[in-house]
Amino acid sequence: MTRAAHRALKGHKPCVVWFTGIPAAGKSTIASLLQTELHSFGVHTCLLEGDNVRQGLNRDLGFDDSDRVENVRRVAEVASLMAQAGLVALVALISPFKEQRALARGLVGEDEFIEVFVDTPLAVAERRDPNGLYRKARRGEVREFTGFDSAYEPPENPELRIDTTRSDPQEAAGSIIAELGRRGVLTLPQLEPVVARLS
């Protein structure tokens, strides 16, 4: 089966939208909202999110640097296979290292890879802290936590940068949908109702 055959069946181009950012930046929230909007008018999607892949595919991995690298590599391989099958794969991972995000881009291909940097100040992410991990990290109960004793390398040239101090999740999803339109993943008839709902 060719990519063209998959595209003809699904009615849209495949791609990988790769969300990166520190813990509690809002990656999964934006990705989930985007998935719902895309699904509403027939785009075939799959969401690979940090928590769900760690419960299954990557449950054997820890959180030291080598395991973080392997976590990203495995998810990138799966996302690439999904794109080959014609899906829009949404990946929401901290993916802290530039080298591993570049590896993911290389596996998927430049034309089908959209890096979205969910740019949230540490203080804002720490206030959100839905799982209490920042509090545990400050008490020394969680080791190798990104932003404390494990590095996060922000993207230098992402396709999109979402400043969550200025954009809410709906606005963020709208900007990604607009980018999908510019890239021809979505057609104009698909694009118009979603942008209208999110604007």
Q: Where are the domains of the chain?
A: 3-188
Q: Read off the tokens for 139.
A: 């008490």
Closest-CA residue to 56 (of 45, 48, 65): 48
Catalytic residue among 28, 80, 95, 167: 95
pLDDT tens digits in sequence order for the chain, 199 residues long: 666 666 666 667 889 999 999 999 999 999 999 999 998 878 899 999 887 877 887 788 877 778 888 888 999 999 999 998 889 999 999 999 999 999 999 999 988 999 999 999 988 988 888 777 888 888 878 777 887 778 899 999 999 999 999 989 999 999 999 899 888 888 756 566 655 655 5
Closest-CA residue to 146 (of 29, 64, 48): 64
Which residue is listed with tokens 């075939």?
44
Give the type of residue at 100. Q
The burial of 7, by beta-carbon neighbours within 10 Å (0-12 exposed, 13-18 middle, 19 or more buried), is given as middle
Torsion of CA 102, 106, 108, 109, to 10 degrees: 120
pTM of the model: 0.88
The answer to whether 95 is a known catalytic residue is yes
- Candidate CATH numbers 3.40.50.300, 1.10.150.170, 3.40.190.10, 3.20.20.150; the one for domain 3-188: 3.40.50.300
Q: What is the spatial distance between Cα 91 and Cα 50, in angstroms, rounded to a whole number?
A: 8
Question: What are the angstrom distances between the C-alpha of 50 and each of 29, 106, 148?
Answer: 12, 20, 18
pLDDT of residue 136: 82
Q: What is the spatial distance between Cα 89 and Cα 91, in angstroms, rounded to a whole number?
A: 6
pLDDT of residue 99: 93
